[in-house]
């Protein structure tokens, strides 16, 4: 998606450790009209799918998924990263290893909100090693729901998670795929 690639080139900052900071528009400060355009693009790419739920994971996926869900006219549900006193015992769980935070955590989703009748589109901001996405896919499968696919804003292609997800047979639509990056240059996959 050219609008996104242009924005990453303009405002993205590459940091040591293969970190791409896009916090001025995507996941700390959010440029709302810009993200609405990403939501419309996800809708265009998955317009053939009878989506009933948008699924994401806290925290930085939530805003993007909420805005995107407007174009699918569906509820949005977000998996939570730790046991909360406000959650019932009846939950789907998966373990996820975070690239950013270098730790393993549990991801939970109340069983009330995802059933075998659902057609799910997973939305997230970043795909690096793919562990968060795999955790969400495991939850969709545990629910017996249909997985229409996953929509990711930025895939770090050189970390291999996206290609592994595709080999699982999951339809993955990344709006920008970065094949290499240094402090001076970014290469997008064509």
Positions in the binding site for a copy of itself (CB under 8 A): 15, 17, 19, 21, 23-24, 28-33, 35-36, 58-60, 62-67, 69-70, 73-78, 80-81, 84-87, 100-102, 109-110, 112-113
Which residue's CB is nearer to a copy of itself, number 80 or number 175? 80
Nearer to a copy of itself, 99 or 177 (CB): 99
CA-to-CA distance for 140 and 115, rounded, in angstroms? 9
- Please, which residue, 25 or 150, has the CB nearer to a copy of itself? 25
Torsional class of 43: left (φ above 0), alpha (ψ -120 to 50), beta (otherwise): alpha
The DSSP line for 145-174 is -EEEEEEEEEEEGGG-HHHHHHHTT--EEE
- Phi then psi dihedrals of residue 7, to 5 deg: -70, -40
Q: What is the dihedral of CA 142, 147, 153, 157, to 10 degrees?
A: 80
| Smallest distance from a copy of itself to CB 73, Å | 8
Between residues 113 and 166, which has the closer beta carbon with respect to a copy of itself?
A: 113
- We find the least distance from the C-beta atom of residue 85 to a copy of itself, in angstroms, to be 6
Minimum separation from the CB atom of position 7 to a copy of itself (A): 14
């Amino acid at each position: 998606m050219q609008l996104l690639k242009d924005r990453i080139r303009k405002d993205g900052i590459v940091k040591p450790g293969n970190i791409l900071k896009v916090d001025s528009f995507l996941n700390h400060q959010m440029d709302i009209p810009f993200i609405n355009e990403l939501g419309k693009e996800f809708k265009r790419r998955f317009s053939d799918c009878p989506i009933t739920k948008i699924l994401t994971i806290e925290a930085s996926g939530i805003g993007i998924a909420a805005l995107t869900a407007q174009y699918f006219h569906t509820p949005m549900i977000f998996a939570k990263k730790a046991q909360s006193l406000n959650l019932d015992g009846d939950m789907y769980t998966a373990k996820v290893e975070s690239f950013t935070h270098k730790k393993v955590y549990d991801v939970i989703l109340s069983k009330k909100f995802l059933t075998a009748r659902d057609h799910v589109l997973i939305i997230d901001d970043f795909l690096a090693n793919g562990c968060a996405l795999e955790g969400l896919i495991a939850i969709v499968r545990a629910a017996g729901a249909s997985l229409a696919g996953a929509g990711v804003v930025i895939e770090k292609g050189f970390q291999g998670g996206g290609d592994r997800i595709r080999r699982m047979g999951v339809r993955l639509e990344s709006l920008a795929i970065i094949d290499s990056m240094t402090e001076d240059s970014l290469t997008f996959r064509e």
